[in-house]
Structure 1
Amino acid sequence: LKQAILDGYKVQTRRIVKPQPTQPTTIWYADASDSGKWVAMGPSRKGSAELRKTSSWISCPYGKSGESILLADESGTPFASAVVVGVRIQRLQSLSEADARAEGTLALYHSSSLLPGVPLQTAFALNWCERYGTHAWAANPWVWVVEFRRRQDGLQED
């Protein structure tokens, strides 16, 4: 994936939100003041359209829009810097084909033995399970979606 980032194919990453809400949750809202804080909301009672908080306010540990971040390889060694251009929370299985492409799945797909014609979402799901365990995709956790653009000027942080 390091090469996919350097080549500009990987511009998005997903990380599991911790802790996951323990109550039924339908949506996450970002704080309107752009503080980088998020809160989960869910039905106030079964069948109700009224929403209530199902989590405390949390911040994305991977940065917020406009921030510079360091990108590291699997061993934790930084190899590039990037700017965060967007953060959102969604269910893992809400991944679209465009999202799978932005995750660098195409580069992974071409360098692996996956059968031709497998949808990019399926290729991403297989890779996710390799990384997080057999049932990791089926669990459909809430995930941070962090979109970034690599800086062309090396490793410096602002």
Structure 2
Amino acid sequence: MKEIPILYTGAMVRALLADDKTQTRRTCKLQPHVGSGMTWWPDGKGTDTGTSGGAPGCYLDLCPFGQPGDRHWVRETWQHSNWPHGPFDEDCDIFYRADYMDDPHGPDGELSPEGKYRTWRPSIHMPRAASRIMLEVMNVRVERLQDISEADAFAEGVSALNSRHAGAAYVTDVRLAYELLWKSLYGAGSWDANPWVWVVKFRRVTEQVQ
């Protein structure tokens, strides 16, 4: 079993904690080549172009997000109680920005008498000991981004009834809500590019991790 670090935004961390998110999609860095009616994968194997998600099993073995039974430890925006007077250690208190999303002053806090706002550390700098969420990989597959189903959009943690993007009106189509989420993360044109993506299904591990 491998343990693999993985980054999540605050909104997705909240979805993970609520067990509303059980899938994640990540772009395949090595995109297959399509030609002559075949989809040619980085391992040299080909599949019929018309077969959605038809990656050879040996290509699935190359997934950087692990295989069934492997685990992800989640990296999120954070801070520790020793800051700014000392380094992080495993005995200090840990604060997570995702827990402050409902703060009336916003997740970055109210201006203090000293004239400082709450300061957070980027998720990429979170050490393993500070992580509070562990996910077990259940299944891995590949498919085109736009092939996502309505059920899978829900499994991505997107609630159509609670999806507001960039001040726009509430979105009632869950696939559209996921499309807008993807664009907010990866930029304009990222959805239209319709890349092949790793689809990782997981469950949150709630028992004590040794």
TM-score range, shorter chain: 0.7 to 0.9
Counterpart amino acid of 1:3? R
Alpha carbons 2:135, 2:205 under 8 Å: kept: yes
Match of 1:110 in 2: 162
Could you list the runs of 5+ residues in structure 1 that have no partner in the other structure? Answer: 30-36, 45-52
How far apart, in 2, do the equivalents of 1:118 and 1:39 lie? 42
1:9 correspondence with 2:63: no
- Alignment partner for residue 138 of structure 1, among 186, 192, 202? 192
Matches within 5 A, 1:6-155: 6-24=17-35, 41-42=46-47, 57=59, 59-73=62-76, 75-76=123-124, 77=126, 78-106=131-159, 110=162, 112=164, 115-116=169-170, 118-154=172-208
The structure that is strand-richer by fraction is 1
Could you list the runs of 5+ residues in structure 2 that have no partner in the other structure? Answer: 1-11, 50-54, 78-122
Kindly state the Cα deviation for residue 42 of structure 1 after the two structures are TM-superposed: 4.2
Match of 2:83 in 1: none
Alpha carbons 2:162, 2:170 under 8 Å: kept: no
Kindly state the Cα deviation for residue 27 of structure 1 after the two structures are TM-superposed: 6.0
How far apart, in 2, do the equivalents of 1:105 and 1:153 lie? 25
Kindly state the Cα deviation for residue 61 of structure 1 after the two structures are TM-superposed: 0.4
Q: 1:70 to 1:26 in 2, by over 3 A?
A: farther
Q: Larger radius of gyration, structure 1 or 2?
A: 2
**TM-score, structure 2 as length reference:** 0.56
**For the aligned residues, what is the CA RMSD?**
3.2
Kindly state the Cα deviation for residue 73 of structure 1 after the two structures are TM-superposed: 2.0
Match of 2:4 in 1: none
Alpha-carbon displacement from aligned partner over 1:13-58 (angstroms, at most 9, x marks no partner): 00001111233376689xxxxxxx97762459xxxxxxxx99x946
Q: 1:146 to 1:43 in 2, by over 3 A?
A: closer
Kindly state the Cα deviation for residue 99 of structure 1 after the two structures are TM-superposed: 0.5
SS of 2:69's partner is coil
SS of 2:68's partner is coil
How far apart, in 2, do the equivalents of 1:15 and 1:69 lie? 14
Alpha-carbon displacement from aligned partner over 1:53-97 (angstroms, at most 9, x marks no partner): 99x946110111111221222513333111101100000000001
How far apart, in 2, do the equivalents of 1:60 and 1:72 lie? 19
Q: 1:146 to 1:83 in 2, by over 3 A?
A: same
Q: Percent identity?
A: 35
Alpha carbons 1:82, 1:151 under 8 Å: kept: yes
Counterpart amino acid of 2:142? I
**TM-score, structure 1 as length reference:** 0.73
